């Protein structure tokens, strides 16, 4: 038996904390920051709409899209100057000297751009 005596100190009745009941009928306030951009949809299971540019990237895989891309690249390279063509090839580490005829340099640039190895800005 221990040598000390345990006595109960009167603390009073336990006090219940006041809790506010949260209704879940609306979104929590944090979700609605800038809530003007939230727009309802008819079918929530449908995939999101494509971006404007995403549609064009899918068209490259079709024959008509490839033909259109080929023509776009061809006209862009044709409108570039001789210096610009050589500069783009040098930036992309394509070994084209100044003695190379410009027709061949343009052909190399066009082929590389169509293959996706060279990006023209």
What is the per-residue pLDDT across 20-39, written as a single tens digit (0 to 9) for each? 777 766 655 665 566 666 67
| Dihedral Cα 83, 85, 87, 88, nearest 10 deg | 160
Return all residues near 89 (Cβ < 8 A) that are at least 6 apart. 96, 105, 108, 109, 112, 118
Q: For residue 83, which of 116, 115, 114, 105 has the smallest C-alpha distance?
A: 105
Q: Give the separation between CA 114 and CA 37, rounded to whole angstroms.
A: 39
Tell me the average pLDDT across 79-83.
92
Question: What does the pLDDT read at residue 9?
Answer: 77
The larger pLDDT score, comparing residue 80 to residue 38, is at 80
Q: For residue 56, which of 33, 42, 72, 44 has the smallest C-alpha distance?
A: 72
Q: For residue 92, which of 77, 69, 108, 75 has the smallest C-alpha distance?
A: 108
Contact yes or no for 96/89 (Cβ under 8 A): yes
Question: What would the pLDDT profile of 85-100 be if each residue is shown by its tens digit?
Answer: 999 999 998 888 889 9
Tell me the average pLDDT across 49-78.
77
Q: Where are the domains of the chain?
A: 51-115
């Amino acid at each position: 038996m221990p040598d000390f005596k345990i006595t109960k100190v009167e603390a009073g009745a336990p006090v219940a904390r006041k809790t506010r009941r949260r209704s879940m009928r609306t979104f929590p306030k944090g979700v609605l920051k800038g809530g003007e951009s939230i727009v309802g949809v008819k079918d929530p299971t449908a995939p999101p709409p494509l971006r404007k540019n995403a549609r064009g990237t899918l068209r490259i895989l079709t024959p008509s899209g490839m033909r259109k891309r080929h023509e776009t690249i061809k006209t862009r390279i044709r409108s570039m100057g001789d210096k610009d063509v050589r500069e783009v090839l040098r930036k992309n580490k394509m070994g084209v000297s100044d003695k190379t005829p410009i027709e061949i340099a343009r052909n190399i640039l066009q082929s590389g751009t169509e293959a996706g190895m060279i990006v023209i800005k």
